[in-house]
A and B are shown apart, each in its own frame.
Chain A
Amino acid sequence: SQQGEEDPQALSIQEGENATMNCSYKTSINNLQWYRQNSGRGLVHLILIRSNEREKHSGRLRVTLDTSKKSSSLLITASRAADTASYFCATDAFVDNYGQNFVFGPGTRLSVLP
């Protein structure tokens, strides 16, 4: 089963509005990451937040993490048409002693209308 689940599955907003996407996960984590995927392309890393952090900013992105609720949110402020993409959260999961794997949710598809 998936560790991360994004919500909503799809979101449509007008340019200039803010977009908020949520991610819930099931087990303890070391960090949580958000990625963006444009249609037909690979995923691009946006931001990483550690389990001991509650909020992090990067440009127009704001990520929050609530470990007690096992949830995170990604806020994109003043959205632009170029923000149209799918957004994924990924959580880490240790596998034996050999390293980490990363578990992705199904993603939120964001459409920003001009």
Chain B
Amino acid sequence: DAGITQSPRHKVTETGTPVTLRCHQTENHRYMYWYRQDPGHGLRLIHYSYGVKDTDKGEVSDGYSVSRSKTEDFLLTLESATSSQTSVYFCAISGRENTIYFGEGSWLTVV
């Protein structure tokens, strides 16, 4: 494992509620990413960060926000959860030679 911890690992929430997923790394890597994985779509980039307080949007950023106040933590917030945001969310860091290391995933169900 590359020292990436995601929390919570599983969550069921109601439509319209805010949800925050946390990614914590112990590798001191600069780049961190949030992806979502859905059947037939592979992994799609939501947001990424290239440093503390430096973030940018990915392919599917609508309805999501992120924050990175410390190198080790990258938070993904669903401002008002919708059923279309039911998915598996993966945090990743970019390591040596641009190899990506993934967390174990957070399963989110919006009912």
Which A residues are closer than 8 A to B by beta carbons?
2, 4, 30-31, 33, 35, 40-45, 48, 88, 90, 92, 95-96, 98-107
Contact B104 A41 (CB under 8 A): yes
Contacts of A95 in B (CB 8 A): 48, 56
Which B residues are closer than 8 A to A by beta carbons?
30-31, 33, 35, 40-45, 48, 50, 54, 56, 58, 90, 94, 97-105
Contact B100 A90 (CB under 8 A): yes
Assembly CA distance A43 to B45 (angstroms): 14
29 contacts between A and B (CB under 8 A): A2-B42, A31-B97, A40-B105, A42-B90, A44-B102, A45-B99, A45-B100, A45-B101, A48-B99, A90-B100, A92-B98, A95-B48, A96-B56, A98-B50, A98-B56, A99-B31, A99-B48, A100-B31, A100-B94, A100-B98, A101-B33, A101-B58, A102-B94, A102-B100, A103-B45, A104-B35, A104-B44, A106-B40, A106-B42
